[in-house]
Amino acid sequence: MLALDLSGSMNQPDMALGNRPVDRLTAAKAVLNDFLERRESDRVGLIVFGRQAYVLTPLTLDRDTVRAQLDDAVVGLAGQETAIGDAIGLAVKRLRSQPPGQRVLIVLTDGVNTAGVLVPDKAAQLARDNGVRVHTVAFGGDGTMSVFGFQLPMPGGGDDIDEATLRAVAEATGGRFFRARDTGELAGIYGEIDRLEPVERPGEAVRPKIERYAWPLAVAWLLALLAMVRPPRLRAKDGVA
């Protein structure tokens, strides 16, 4: 299950994508789309959170639907605040039906838990008790933006990220904590998570191929040959018994 922060701070344009400045959400979408491309045969769902947490896509093998919902997500869709604990709690509820060992949540956020009814440490206990492994990704720059090679401060930049809490959540559930300050680091982190959580693909059933068409084909050719060489049947002449 992917959990994506859509709080107001994700609108900060302190990231770069293809040598052009973009906001944090745009950079996160690009990396998540690439991650989804690699998760063939995996069941993936999408939760977004701001003031509240919502399931945009339940666990599904249809990655195109997940991508479509991800592309449509916008900052503020779930409110301007950050309910990290509620997002984890909702993911645990959705992952309970999955086989043990395959209950994995990846949380991407750029802030501090400021909303919701479930605080992150209690959510981590809930995840641990239900066998859900939580990887946490703290994403955000240092409050500056590169312009022609110069680092310029951004109005409202430098948002605090509660790295200590995110690290504690990951450690309590057997997951990993990551810190990404730019798009390249974020891509590397999801590549590492892809390695840590390989897709369990069932082995392909191999059926021995036994060609049996040769025998009926040979019989058909033999009958055709006999029909050609057999003398024509004499017809009785008129008036002769």
The ranges assigned to domains in the chain are: 2-196
The H or E element that residue 128 is part of is helix 120-129
Q: Would the pLDDT of 133 be above 80?
A: yes
Please report which confidence band the pLDDT of residue 149 belongs to, taking 50, 70 and 90 as the band edges.
Answer: low
Residue 128's contacts (CB-CB under 8 Å, 6 or more residues apart) are 172, 173, 174
Q: In this model, does residue 12 exceed pLDDT 70?
A: yes
- Cα 26 off chain centre by: 16
* Residue count (the chain): 241
Name the token pair of 115: 């909303």
User: Taking Cα atoms as reference points, which of 201, 173, 180, 6 lies closest to residue 104?
Assistant: 173
> Max alpha carbon distance in the chain (Å)?
119
* pLDDT given at position 204: 44
Alpha-carbon dihedral of residues 88, 94, 96, 100, nearest 10 degrees? -80
* Residue 198: C-alpha distances to residues 45, 65, 113, 184 (Å): 16, 21, 30, 21
Give the pLDDT band (50/70/90) at residue 156.
very low
What's the topology of domain 2-196? Rossmann fold (3.40.50)
C-alpha to C-alpha distance for 114 and 116, rounded to whole angstroms: 7
| Tokens, residue 160 | 């605090």
From the list 30, 26, 23, the residue with the least C-alpha distance to 9 is 23
Give the N- to C-terminal CA distance of the chain in Å, as an integer: 91
Q: Which residues pair with 17 in a beta bridge?
A: 20
Average pLDDT over residues 154-172: 81
What pLDDT, on a 0 to 100 scale, did the predictor assign at position 152? 54
pLDDT recorded at residue 32: 98
Q: What is the dihedral of CA 100, 106, 187, 75, to 10 degrees?
A: 150
**Chain segment 55-95, per-residue pLDDT in tens:** 999 999 999 999 999 999 999 999 999 999 999 999 999 99
Residue 62 burial (CB count, 10 A): 11
- For residues 147-166, give the mean pLDDT: 66
Mean pLDDT of 121-147: 88
Structure tokens at 145: 């933006």
